[in-house]
Amino acid sequence: MKRINEAAIALLVSALMVGSAFGHQGEMKFMFQFPDHLTPVLDGDMSDWDIVSDVYKIKAETMFNQFGAPMDLSDFNASLIWAYNINDGKAYFSAWIADDYINNTEKWSTTTDWDHSGGIFRGFDQGDDFETRWASAQAQRYDLAGPIFSSSGYYTRIIDGSKAWAGQSPYVEWAGQFLRGDVDTQEPAEMFGEYSIVPFDDIHPDGADQSVQHSWVEGTVVGIEVNWGDKDADPGSYDDAYWSGFGGIGASRDADQFGDYLLAPIEEGLPEARATGVEASTWGQIKSTF
């Protein structure tokens, strides 16, 4: 009995240590592993994400905001997936959103800490030189606006500016489309975006050669926070809410406030081939020869 108690306490202590040393907001989530032949094609078509089951999704029903505002799915609705592929080394993010008004100041803000080192990663208050080298270096803040062209002048970017190269192609790539409505119409709209990110453990201002890329290890935990600033133009309330997947306060500069994602193994029973237009036309050609 004593032995069991000691084991239980050891577990509890190790859980607390993980909690305090590395941060952990909300429930552990899972990053879907795409096998090589099923990595998503960045074309704005959602279908290559159909193989991802609900256990991997962050849905609006479980998101929350800094005001504790009640969820109204006609005001904001979303379904998010984070995924990865070991051989191409990329992180993949897809986001479906329905919003009663999508304007060009709205975007996904996501912060990443792939090696789970935690801690303050920007806004150090240690002078400009320090900030130039280290802001968004060992954890990162990305803004993903595409298919919207943000009023701030980008489809995707990384904050801070000294790391701008890492927030653009080929390090961040995207495709997306409006499924209903459009941007800045003040009417309900629905859109989809899919993005790939080359993950780094250290981003250097001078470029990729000076930087350290992250290598995925299945079964390890990475840190992520993601939120949509739903800034509808309601009279008297510019900022509706920042709908967050994890909701750690200060996550825009403190990686201890991110949530934990476990890098999942490849699911069993996935399709053996990609269902693409190319293959469909190949099949069409085969059929026409019968």
Chain residues that interact with Ca ion, rule: CB under 5 A: 40-41, 43, 45, 48, 75-76, 99-101, 113, 115, 117, 138-139, 230, 232
Alpha helices in the chain (DSSP H): 2-22, 128-134, 277-288
CB of 123 to Ca ion, least distance (A): 16
Q: DSSP per residue over 61-96, as a string?
A: GG-B-TT-PPP-TTTEEEEEEEEE-TTT--EEEEEE
CB of 229 to Ca ion, least distance (A): 8
Nearer to Ca ion, 70 or 289 (CB): 70
Strands 29-33 and 259-263: parallel
CB of 108 to Ca ion, least distance (A): 12
Nearest to 34 by CA among 16, 11, 51, 58: 51
Residue nearest to Ca ion (CB): 117
Nearer to Ca ion, 118 or 290 (CB): 118
61 vs 98: CA distance, rounded Å? 13
Nearer to Ca ion, 33 or 138 (CB): 138
Nearer to Ca ion, 100 or 143 (CB): 100
Structural contact between residues 193 and 147, judged by C-beta atoms closer than 8 angstroms = yes
Residues listed for the chain: 290
Nearer to Ca ion, 58 or 97 (CB): 97
68 vs 89: CA distance, rounded Å? 37
Structure tokens at 170: 């080929």
Nearer to Ca ion, 10 or 233 (CB): 233
179 vs 142: CA distance, rounded Å? 24
Phi and psi torsions of 7, nearest 5°: -65, -40
Nearer to Ca ion, 58 or 78 (CB): 78
Half-sphere exposure of 81 (CA within 13 A, CB side): 25
CB of 76 to Ca ion, least distance (A): 5
CB of 191 to Ca ion, least distance (A): 11
CB of 243 to Ca ion, least distance (A): 9
Nearer to Ca ion, 40 or 205 (CB): 40
Structural contact between residues 260 and 150, judged by C-beta atoms closer than 8 angstroms = no
CB of 65 to Ca ion, least distance (A): 11
Angle at the Cα of 104 (from 111 to 255), degrees rounded to 5?
10
8 vs 237: CA distance, rounded Å? 49
CB of 44 to Ca ion, least distance (A): 6
